[in-house]
């Protein structure tokens, strides 16, 4: 399906500011759809203003749809009897005199011009399914009255208003709960869902006849936690506000839409939503994340303790072979500890491995057997590495860097260059040194080194590839690994 911007770019000459204005309308017009029980279609004028294109569509959640098919991308062309054309030319709200049949369903249609800077930049068409329309009552009357006010505001370029941005997964819709307020802020209507949401907060009053601002202040006194900042006013006459009320019993989110008639403020329409369960789940997630971080922190501490014990044991041994084995084990444990330390510092399930690699390179160089000056450089970035890959990767990386230092350079000065890159869902890491080249007949199938055996095994477990051979210029050795990250 085409987006609104794509339709405008392909067919219209509206300016970027006009396009942005229509985008703001589409973000908030679900309120009009729900209040009017209508499907909405946004028609934008073609370069030829006898042609209009459907740029966006919205269905109501409070009633049956009148349009079963999506119409975005369709056109109305050279039809003088179309309400869209009539509203565009007259700059007034137009409607059908009676219910027209659409696919056998009686449908009432309104067309509202969207004006900006004294001209019409689009038309919103409302289609109401009269066969499935709800029986009139206090709720339906309150909805339809508010819908008529919003249609007038839309025509007068007063809707949508500036204010707090909506959050799709949190912002309440009309069906979640709604209130109608007088221009003095007194509640004149409360839907059953709104009553239930306030009851869950612990409020036992009738709502109708209460001042919403006073009511919110009294409810805030029973908040779960002390308020540490001053929020803006809940009710503003020219500004949409969205706030949250929370008590020890529950939480509710409110969105207040000012209503204007002939540029005179006449009240507000307020939508509200019980978000108690959502907030409880968020707290559970925060608790779980904090627990996972604490686990990583404790694992890191335990590994550092093991590394310290291995280091202490190495100092007490006199066997060169045992000393080397204990030193290698200490480095491997420390490499794993570095990963857990990084994971303990954030909530991400991925690791920014550049920091890990840089710390491992420093660690390996500090304890390497070579006493000559060695330059170690990283060219490129590892990027984000999944946590379940990072541990094995840290061991592989440590072994390859240590191998380049001890077996490639030995006691000679030289350079080790690490070149990581991510492409096509894979991590490719090349490690080069300019020391002694590996034997020409070297084969991974005849590995005798424990370090390279660890590398080959771990890379195979990660379904990757490991290669090591002399550099192209005949000096030094190049090893590289390729690991899929998805």
pLDDT value of residue 343: 65
pLDDT value of residue 298: 79
For 145, the 3-state DSSP assignment is: helix
Residue 184 in tokens: 């003095």
- For residue 462, is pLDDT > 70? yes
For residue 169, name the pLDDT band (cuts at 50, 70, 90): confident
- For residue 376, is pLDDT > 90? no
pLDDT value of residue 137: 85
Rounded Cα distance between 331 and 79, Å, is 79
For 360, the 3-state DSSP assignment is: helix
Average pLDDT over residues 150-176: 92
The pairing of strands 414-423 and 374-378 is parallel
**H-helix or E-strand spanning residue 184:** none
Q: Where are the alpha helices (DSSP H) in 252-404?
A: 276-316, 320-343, 353-367, 387-403
Average pLDDT over residues 40-55: 94
Average pLDDT over residues 380-399: 86
Residue reference for tokens 């000679």: 412
For residue 194, name the pLDDT band (cuts at 50, 70, 90): very high
Please, what is the Cα angle at 226 between 174 and 173, to 5 degrees? 5
Average pLDDT over residues 1-9: 89
Summarize pLDDT for 50-102 with one digit per residue, the tens. Answer: 999 999 999 999 988 888 889 999 999 988 888 999 999 999 999 986 556 55
Distances (CA, A) of 287 to 244, 280, 282, 291: 22, 11, 9, 6
For residue 179, name the pLDDT band (cuts at 50, 70, 90): very high
Are the CB atoms for 239 and 163 separated by under 8 Å?
A: yes
For residue 406, name the pLDDT band (cuts at 50, 70, 90): confident
Summarize pLDDT for 113-140 with one digit per residue, the tens. Answer: 999 988 999 999 999 987 766 667 889 9
Rounded Cα distance between 116 and 118, Å, is 5
pLDDT value of residue 226: 47
For residue 348, name the pLDDT band (cuts at 50, 70, 90): low
Chain centre distance of CA 419 = 31
Residue reference for tokens 């300016």: 15
- For residue 191, is pLDDT > 70? yes
pLDDT value of residue 232: 64
- Residues with Cβ within 8 Å of 365's Cβ and at least 6 positions away in sequence, in order, are 374, 376, 405
Summarize pLDDT for 299-312 with one digit per residue, the tens. Answer: 777 777 887 877 77
Residue reference for tokens 């420390």: 334
pLDDT value of residue 228: 44
pLDDT value of residue 256: 96
For 142, the 3-state DSSP assignment is: helix
- How many helices (H) and strands (E) the chain has is answered by 12, 19
- For residue 143, is pLDDT > 80? yes
Average pLDDT over residues 351-370: 78
Q: How many residues comprise the chain?
A: 486
pLDDT value of residue 230: 45
- Residues with Cβ within 8 Å of 108's Cβ and at least 6 positions away in sequence, in order, are 95, 96, 99, 100, 127, 128, 130
Q: How many CB atoms sit inside 10 A of residue 281's CB?
A: 11
Residue reference for tokens 């908030």: 28
Q: Tell me the pTM.
A: 0.64
Mean pLDDT across the chain, nearest whole number? 85
């Amino acid at each position: 399906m085409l987006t609104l911007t794509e339709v405008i770019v392909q067919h219209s000459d509206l300016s970027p500011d006009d396009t942005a204005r229509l985008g703001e309308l589409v973000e908030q017009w679900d309120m009009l759809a729900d209040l009017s029980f209508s499907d909405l279609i946004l028609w934008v004028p073609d370069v030829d203003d006898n042609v209009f294109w459907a740029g966006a569509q919205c269905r109501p959640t409070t009633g049956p749809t009148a349009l079963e098919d999506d119409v975005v991308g369709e056109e109305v062309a050279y039809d003088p009897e179309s309400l869209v054309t009539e509203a565009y030319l007259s700059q007034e709200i137009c409607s059908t005199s009676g219910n027209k049949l659409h696919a056998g369903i009686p449908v009432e249609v309104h067309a509202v011009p969207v004006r900006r800077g004294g001209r019409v930049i689009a038309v919103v068409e409302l289609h109401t399914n009269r066969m499935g329309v709800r029986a009139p009552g206090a709720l339906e009357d309150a909805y339809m009255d508010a819908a008529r006010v919003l249609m007038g505001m839309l025509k007068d370029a007063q809707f949508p208003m500036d204010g707090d941005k909506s959050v799709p997964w949190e912002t309440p819709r009309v069906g979640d709960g709604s209130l109608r307020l007088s221009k003095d802020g007194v509640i004149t209507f409360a839907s059953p869902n709104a009553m239930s949401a306030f009851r869950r907060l612990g409020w036992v009053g009738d709502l109708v006849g209460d001042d919403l601002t006073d009511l919110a202040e009294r409810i805030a006194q029973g908040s779960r936690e002390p308020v540490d900042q001053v929020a803006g006013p809940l009710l503003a006459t020219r500004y949409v506000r969205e706030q949250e009320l929370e008590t020890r019993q529950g939480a509710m989110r409110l969105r207040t839409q000012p209503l204007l008639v002939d540029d005179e403020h006449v009240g507000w329409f307020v939508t509200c939503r019980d978000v108690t369960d959502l907030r409880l789940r968020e707290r559970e997630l925060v608790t779980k994340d904090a627990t996972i971080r604490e686990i990583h922190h404790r694992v890191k501490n335990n590994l550092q303790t093991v590394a310290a014990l291995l280091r202490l044991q190495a100092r007490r041994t006199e066997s060169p072979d045992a000393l080397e084995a204990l030193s290698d084990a200490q480095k491997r444990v420390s490499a794993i500890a570095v990963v857990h330390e990084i994971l303990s510092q954030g909530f991400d399930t991925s690791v920014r491995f550049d920091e890990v690699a840089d710390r491992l390179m420093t660690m390996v160089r500090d304890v390497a057997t070579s006493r000559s000056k060695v330059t170690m450089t990283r060219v490129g970035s590892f990027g984000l590495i999944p946590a379940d890959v990072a541990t094995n990767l840290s061991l592989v990386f440590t072994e390859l860097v240590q191998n380049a230092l001890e077996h490639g350079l030995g006691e000679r000065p030289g350079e080790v260059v690490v070149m990581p890159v991510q492409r096509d869902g894979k991590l490719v890491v090349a490690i080069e040194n300019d020391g002694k080249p590996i034997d020409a007949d070297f084969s991974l199938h005849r590995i005798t080194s424990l370090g390279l055996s660890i590398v080959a095994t771990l890379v195979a477990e990660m379904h990757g590839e490991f290669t090591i051979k002399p550099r192209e210029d005949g000096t030094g050795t190049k090893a590289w690994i390729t690991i899929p990250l998805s």
